[in-house]
Structure 1
């Protein structure tokens, strides 16, 4: 059975069981600060389990893209070394929100596996929760045990511990016991030797879990206690790749048709044969897995970067590159070439791959090229570390700097050191790594208390489109404490005029006013699992009162101007550059806007001017806001609105129209484009291959911009004695400055030439070396020319020149004839590092030429005096 048929069969089965089939959500999370990526099938449905939203149907089934590379669920380092772990994987799942429970979930799972997929029941095992001695509320799940006995012999029902058979969303929140279904696909000979029961949850490659049925019935509180949920839910997840392995009769996920087309392409590109070399096989599995994770992430809107989720994607891709570099001998970009195969294979089930194919290829290729340059630079730096090493063990702190500062992989460092006969101080490296992790954890550490519920009003209504102040009642609150923000309170109201951060727009600020006139400031507003949360430093005195909630009008208006401008900018870019332009991200603040879009070349000055003029004509045109709320998604699309990949849309949407600009948007906007006043582009540049970024300002920020520029112009004209043409006057000054620089350079050359004769006369022979250590009054370039000019006449020369431009800057330059450095083992780099300490600085270089800089010119005499010691 082919993988596409396996997926379709699962969805059809549950559709016939009255489940609503929904498409996979974006892998990139939007309103869940606890996750960087969707890491399980249930993550997109958290709001329903938490009671913060109502699902479209009480029964849902899907195939969800998941990524596990960080945090508690981290499979990254296993990927490639075994045959069943992945970074990106599909989770087939069926869900019940307060509808059916254990009886149906167990019966349907068995029927699908045994009767529909025709899996031999004699290779299946199941586990149930055995209970927990350290928690009186957690008894053995005898209900699940008895239900399973109807389908499978009792000796194949195993009791599992809390780690394996009790599922929790996090330290707090919904949780419950679970039943795992495992499959044993070993040969008959292997089964005769070892009982499959003993291999369950022991990381055996052919005795693996394929389906987990979670019976969500408890809520874990902050103090660790459990309470029953108002409704019981079913949350199941079956590993698609593992299921394909079983149904296709192979011994590895990588031997299924999910991966074989990619592996075949890797073989062709790298001229290798999968299955013939262990290290190459690992590299091939790493690359075939990682290209899927990176491609899907980019398609869902997450580009590689240096922070957050983007750093995770960059790390995955770089892992793939270094395996290709090290074990497949690929020193040029090639992973991007696998995207076409992936798109052909999975583009039907996930159309975003086909739609974003060109972008994905360009981004991956650029990232590969960049990291290969980093590897080249790292090899040079590593050679420097090796050449200056005093022992055969390289210190962990130096290797950590190479890893942390330059991104050079530690495993590649260890491999190269081993090949050159060196070892790595692994304990020292690990100590530095743990220090960094500790600093990172301390910076982000947060404790969250349970919600204090003040009202049963679970429906929170946003009224901020129509009003900026209204009476509200506090329905719940909780305290959170972090190192960054200290103690903060999160408040939830029955209704709110505060817009929560989302769709690129920042959250509103403002205040609450009590009936007594006291004020509590709202510092930020965010959305978490469909709940609008307001952040404050303190609580109102009387929590049961009705408060007046007031949004900061000035900030909201400025933000609205910028948000509306992003819509007009999007329209302008598509009009000026072409309809290939699509929004790839935005940030809408009160002071500026940032807009990322797909385009493959730098915008010319004329194009930027045309885009700017296009937007400003729409502002001058006084276009009114036409807003349609809660309209069917298809109606909005038919009206011309664009749906963006990676965004989460419901059955009904909000459409925003200004003239011919129509977009699906939940943000806030001006009532008329004339409110924006003016639009000004501040910068345009590349974010990644095929992605450009424009930063711009509107309204008051434009007024400030023109005022500041006007003031600057008057200051410049004043400095130019009120020249009528300041541009021409500055141009003349630049020409004169260039001419003067050339004169100075010539004077310095003449000065250096005059010095040569004097310095040659000062050379003294010590132990067969022509030696000179002295201070010279030249710039660094002049000193270098001086040293090399004198050096042409000698093969046994040792020079140390010192200079100081001012009282806070000192320089040392060491030149040693190459012949002398080789013959006697002198190292100019090592010498200047040691002498550099005397001028409170450091430096380095090659064994024949090196420099050091410091901030203590007073140490120069001592450094010059010490130089002679190296000749003894």
Structure 2
């Protein structure tokens, strides 16, 4: 059976048991401050477990893209070294939301594995929660007894809290779990060691494939457990491990899920994969694993970057590059050529990658190319360090600099160091790493308080499409500590406040608890819960609440949101239908729109796009909003955003059915004429294949145009109101360039004259002709020219010229190349060690010539004395 057939059999089996097949949620998490990525199948259903939403179907089944790069067995630096852990993987899951429980979940998992997939029963073991006295949790006798109906009792093993009590995080839904493990060893190996002793012991051939989690509790901040409103089943089976078992392989990477990528990599590198523990084969596995995480995450809307989730993707990509660079001897981009292979392989189950294959390929290529240049710089850095080191050791600070600045992991630094007979200070590296992690943790620390629940009613009803004020009640509230500051969060029974989503910022406004006034500073979503960020908690939480949105801010935000839809359609009309939204920000001040495009948008194209948008504004097109079944909306031609999770019924915003039809949950104006006018403010690059435009509408556009006109008026006045302004400015620039050339010639003559007067002042010290002076020149270029003038006239020289230029210290140091070779003197090193501390500055350059600048000008004579002392020694 192929992996596709195995996946489909799972979905079909549970469909036959009354489950609705639902699509995977995007791998990139939105509206959940506790997660960056979908790391488990249950993430998209969290609200159902917590009781914040009512599920449309009590039984569902899916395959979910997951990404794990930290935590138990999922350290990024370990993936590829073994044969059964991954960064991105598929989690097959069947779910019960307050419907069936342990009996059915256990029976069906056994039926599927042994009767449908026909895995021999003597290969399987199951585990059950043994209880925990500290938590006052009993043994899961119920699950134990159900298992006895299907499997011999000596194959039912008891597991501790670590292995058999599943928790989403520090807080949230949790419960006992029952795992199914499969023993893939040979008969000879089984005769030597009893399989039950290898369960949960990280044996590569005795692996967990299924986990039945029985959601019964909610973990509170104080670590106590409270029963959930209803009992749920959350199961997960790793497709990669299941396929390995079904295809009788000893490694996940030997299955058809990965071999297509591995074979393509063989063709690209000219090397063969042997499946061993050698670094070459680890590199093949790393590439086959990592390209999946990279490609699917980019397709779901997360671009590589230097912060947050984007940095995680950049780390994964760079690890793959390091492996092919170091162990497959490939020095040019490789990963991007694997994207089409992956897209074709998963087109029937995750079509979003195939739909964006060229875009994803471009982004990956640019990231690879940039990092390969960084790697080359890092290699030069470590080679330079080794060449000039006084001891055969790389200190921890340097090793961490190589990691942090150049992307060198500790093992790559160790490898290069060992090849040159050097050791590396591992403790120093670990200390520097811990220091950075502590800083990062402090910057992002989030201390979530427990909700104080006043009313068990599910999440707020949003009424903000129709009204900006409502009378309601407070359902619950909590205090959250973020970056050392307290946040007060409130949930209302109904709310006119729009929660930040789809690029539109959250509303602000006021809550009136009787006479008490509380200001709402922001509104966000946490999963499907609408959170109002307040400046304080109410003194009387049970009082009736009047909620009022800041009207002017909402209206200006709506204008920019509707303009974004008009802009998106115009971009596609002018630039091509490849244009797709890659990010947006819509607020009261302006709009920002990121989109896929591989070239700068020219001024002519921007003018054309702007004209189209303004034409639609003047046409005063009604903004029609309809709620439709998703399939019907897509048939209308509605554009859906990659990486967004849509329900079965969607909100469609139509501005002329032949022009703009988009799925959108945001708020909008009633007709395009309300925008007044549309004006671009800027255009530029964000990332490889992604451009960004910023624009304003309405009063903001009017203010922007008036500001530009005022600047133009002031420029005209400064130039005495010429009839032809552009021609006048061009003449002015020509005159400026001519005068600068004359000035340069005069400065050069001045330098030549100075060189002639000081040439004979060179002092011979131990066979070195030293000339060090404080000189009077008007710019740093003068120091450089003075050095170049004299270096060919004075043999065996060390020339040091310092000057006070505009109240700052400027330094130029030239050393004869023969002295660099004979004495080991290097200008950048002398600048760094002798000069920079005195002038409180820095600099650098080539071994024979370097410059520096600094704040201190009263120690110029000391600079000369310090360098002279170095030569005298």
| TM-score of the aligned structures, taking structure 1 as reference length | 0.97
Q: Matched residues in 2 for 1:832 and 1:460: separation? A: 64
> How far is the alpha carbon of 1:351 from its aligned partner?
1.3
Mapping of residues 385-784 of structure 1, within 5 Å:
385-483=385-483, 486-516=485-515, 518-629=516-627, 631-659=628-656, 660-778=659-777, 779-784=779-784
Q: 1:587 to 1:71 in 2, by over 3 A?
A: farther
Contact persistence 1:75–1:86 (CA under 8 A): no
1:57 is matched with which residue?
Answer: 57
> How far is the alpha carbon of 1:409 from its aligned partner?
4.0
Q: Matched residues in 2 for 1:43 and 1:505: separation? A: 23
> How far is the alpha carbon of 1:125 from its aligned partner?
1.0
Q: 1:290 to 1:194 in 2, by over 3 A?
A: same
> How far is the alpha carbon of 1:432 from its aligned partner?
1.9
Contact persistence 1:39–1:73 (CA under 8 A): no
Contact persistence 2:97–2:232 (CA under 8 A): yes
Q: Matched residues in 2 for 1:458 and 1:276: separation? A: 52
Contact persistence 1:332–1:369 (CA under 8 A): yes
Cα distance per residue 1:62-83 (max 9 Å; x no partner): 1111000146774312211000
Q: Matched residues in 2 for 1:360 and 1:760: separation? A: 61
Stretch deviating more after TM superposition (323-332 or 448-457): 448-457
Q: 1:39 to 1:618 in 2, by over 3 A?
A: same
Stretch deviating more after TM superposition (427-436 or 45-54): 427-436
Contact persistence 2:318–2:407 (CA under 8 A): no
Q: Is 1:244 the equivalent of 2:265?
A: no
Cα distance per residue 1:735-786 (max 9 Å; x no partner): 1111111111111221222223223211121111111111223333332233
Q: Matched residues in 2 for 1:728 and 1:409: separation? A: 57
Contact persistence 2:498–2:506 (CA under 8 A): yes
Q: Matched residues in 1 for 2:716 and 2:407: separation? A: 48
Q: 1:845 to 1:421 in 2, by over 3 A?
A: farther
Contact persistence 2:79–2:87 (CA under 8 A): yes
1:821 is matched with which residue?
Answer: 820
Contact persistence 1:795–1:818 (CA under 8 A): no
> How far is the alpha carbon of 1:871 from its aligned partner?
2.3
| Secondary structure of 2:125's aligned partner | strand
| Secondary structure of 1:501's aligned partner | coil
> How far is the alpha carbon of 1:560 from its aligned partner?
0.3
Stretch deviating more after TM superposition (212-221 or 722-731): 722-731
Q: 1:459 to 1:44 in 2, by over 3 A?
A: closer
Q: Matched residues in 1 for 2:689 and 2:635: separation? A: 28
> How far is the alpha carbon of 1:302 from its aligned partner?
1.4
| Secondary structure of 1:42's aligned partner | helix
2:311 is matched with which residue?
Answer: 311
Contact persistence 2:50–2:229 (CA under 8 A): no
1:255 is matched with which residue?
Answer: 254
Q: Matched residues in 1 for 2:369 and 2:65: separation? A: 28
Q: Matched residues in 2 for 1:425 and 1:759: separation? A: 49
| TM-score of the aligned structures, taking structure 2 as reference length | 0.97
2:217 is matched with which residue?
Answer: 218
1:383 is matched with which residue?
Answer: 383
Q: Matched residues in 2 for 1:733 and 1:81: separation? A: 66
Contact persistence 1:52–1:529 (CA under 8 A): no
Q: 1:504 to 1:198 in 2, by over 3 A?
A: same
| Secondary structure of 1:487's aligned partner | strand
Q: Is 1:845 the equivalent of 2:814?
A: no
Q: Matched residues in 1 for 2:755 and 2:460: separation? A: 83
> How far is the alpha carbon of 1:515 from its aligned partner?
2.9
Contact persistence 1:489–1:536 (CA under 8 A): yes
Q: Matched residues in 2 for 1:76 and 1:617: separation? A: 52
2:167 is matched with which residue?
Answer: 168
Q: Matched residues in 2 for 1:105 and 1:858: separation? A: 81
1:352 is matched with which residue?
Answer: 352
| Secondary structure of 1:56's aligned partner | coil
| Secondary structure of 1:183's aligned partner | strand
> How far is the alpha carbon of 1:171 from its aligned partner?
1.6
| Secondary structure of 2:666's aligned partner | coil
Cα distance per residue 1:202-246 (max 9 Å; x no partner): 211111110000011112122211122221110000010000111
1:228 is matched with which residue?
Answer: 227
> How far is the alpha carbon of 1:176 from its aligned partner?
0.4
Q: Matched residues in 1 for 2:65 and 2:325: separation? A: 28
Stretch deviating more after TM superposition (539-548 or 106-115): 539-548
1:272 is matched with which residue?
Answer: 271
Gaps of 5+ in 1: none
Contact persistence 2:783–2:811 (CA under 8 A): no
Contact persistence 1:59–1:96 (CA under 8 A): yes
Q: Matched residues in 1 for 2:73 and 2:642: separation? A: 26
Figure out how many residues of one structure are paired with residues of the other and give that number: 867
Contact persistence 1:508–1:524 (CA under 8 A): yes
Q: Matched residues in 1 for 2:171 and 2:822: separation? A: 69
Q: Matched residues in 2 for 1:284 and 1:480: separation? A: 44
2:95 is matched with which residue?
Answer: 95
Q: Matched residues in 1 for 2:742 and 2:378: separation? A: 40
Q: Matched residues in 2 for 1:414 and 1:782: separation? A: 45
1:802 is matched with which residue?
Answer: 802
What is the RMSD computed on CA atoms of the aligned residues? 1.7
| Secondary structure of 1:810's aligned partner | strand
Q: 1:383 to 1:812 in 2, by over 3 A?
A: farther
| Secondary structure of 1:8's aligned partner | helix
| Secondary structure of 2:858's aligned partner | helix
Mapping of residues 16-415 of structure 1, within 5 Å:
16-70=16-70, 74-136=74-136, 138-275=137-274, 278-415=278-415
Gaps of 5+ in 2: none
Contact persistence 2:610–2:680 (CA under 8 A): yes
Contact persistence 1:810–1:855 (CA under 8 A): yes
> How far is the alpha carbon of 1:317 from its aligned partner?
0.7
Contact persistence 1:123–1:184 (CA under 8 A): yes
Cα distance per residue 1:545-604 (max 9 Å; x no partner): 212111011110111011001100011111112222222221112111111222222222
Contact persistence 2:491–2:530 (CA under 8 A): yes
2:790 is matched with which residue?
Answer: 790
| Secondary structure of 1:857's aligned partner | coil
Contact persistence 1:40–1:91 (CA under 8 A): yes
Contact persistence 2:65–2:90 (CA under 8 A): yes
Contact persistence 1:374–1:408 (CA under 8 A): no
Stretch deviating more after TM superposition (612-621 or 436-445): 436-445
Contact persistence 1:794–1:817 (CA under 8 A): no
Stretch deviating more after TM superposition (674-683 or 189-198): 189-198
Stretch deviating more after TM superposition (607-616 or 433-442): 433-442
